[in-house]
């Protein structure tokens, strides 16, 4: 039985130990590297905040009437706080490969040797799906959502969209889509550690489809069925892909 201050490192062979302080030092190192990278990206994005905001406002300007196609601000601090939000959004998205890589490298020592080879594929998949989800949210879901909301609003008045309101909506939807697209990675991971299997996922398909549309309704704040469907359909496809990937893994294990 190992000492309370030590933890066995499964991948390093029998008797290899890593002290609690080693774990904490490793965590501190990973957090420092992630924070440093995020701070650098934040600073660069903050300095160029006006250009980034104008770029991110393009989907909105396309659906606004020509004489109202502009963002508005209601106070002297609104644009400044908007650039702070843009810096944070840029750090999370652009820095995703860095902080996600540091996360996977931190948990790597706790894995058995045969599990460590999965760290790189899962790290790459996590990064790719998060970035793809953010891009999908910006280029597909947001334009449809804005089109519906602005068209609805113009029926009763003029559009005066503020920097704060637009960025709050954009950040919620982009980050939400990025996290939603991590679902297949999580399902495959749970399947590989034995918590789920493909048959369980297949049997739960109908219930999951309902849950997916509920999540899509939460991430897309408009009641427009088109924008909700635009997010729900890829999620359903990714769910089916998760079942397919797990079946392949299960067949390989059965023949091994």
For residue 226, what pLDDT band results from cuts at 50, 70 and 90? Answer: confident
Indicate whether 21 pLDDT > 80: no
* Residues 173/141, Cβ–Cβ less than 8 Å: yes
Counting other chains too, the contacts that 8-12 makes at CB distance below 8 Å and 24 or more residues apart are 9/109, 9/110, 10/110, 10/111, 10/112, 10/113, 10/115, 11/108, 11/109, 11/111, 11/112, 11/113, 11/115, 11/116, 12/109, 12/113
pLDDT tens digits along 138-162: 999 899 889 988 998 999 988 899 9
pLDDT tens digits along 93-118: 999 889 888 888 887 776 667 667 77
Average pLDDT on 208-233 reads 83
Indicate whether 55 pLDDT > 90: yes
């Amino acid at each position: 039985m190992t000492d309370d201050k030590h933890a066995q490192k499964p991948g390093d062979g029998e008797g290899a130990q890593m002290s609690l302080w080693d774990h904490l030092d490793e965590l501190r190192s990973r957090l420092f590297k992630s924070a440093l990278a995020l701070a650098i990206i934040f600073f660069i994005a903050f300095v160029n905040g006006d250009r980034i905001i104008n770029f991110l406002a393009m989907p909105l300007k396309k659906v606004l009437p020509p004489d109202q196609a502009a963002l508005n601000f209601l106070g002297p601090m609104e644009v400044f706080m908007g650039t702070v939000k843009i810096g944070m959004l840029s750090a999370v998205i652009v820095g995703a490969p860095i902080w996600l890589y540091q996360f996977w490298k931190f948990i790597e020592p706790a894995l058995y040797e045969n599990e460590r080879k999965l760290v790189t594929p899962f790290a790459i998949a996590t990064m790719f799906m998060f970035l793809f989800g953010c891009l999908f949210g910006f280029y597909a879901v947001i334009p449809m959502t804005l089109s519906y909301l602005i068209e609805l609003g113009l029926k009763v008045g003029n559009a005066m969209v503020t920097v704060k309101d637009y960025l709050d909506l954009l950040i919620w939807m982009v980050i939400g889509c990025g996290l939603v697209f991590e679902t297949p990675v999580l399902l495959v991971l749970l399947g590989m550690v034995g918590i789920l299997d493909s048959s369980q996922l297949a049997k739960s398909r109908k219930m999951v489809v309902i849950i997916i549309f509920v999540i899509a309704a939460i991430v897309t704040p408009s009641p427009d069925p088109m924008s909700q469907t635009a997010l729900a359909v890829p999620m359903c496809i990714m769910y089916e892909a998760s079942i397919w990937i797990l079946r392949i893994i299960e067949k390989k294990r059965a023949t091994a």
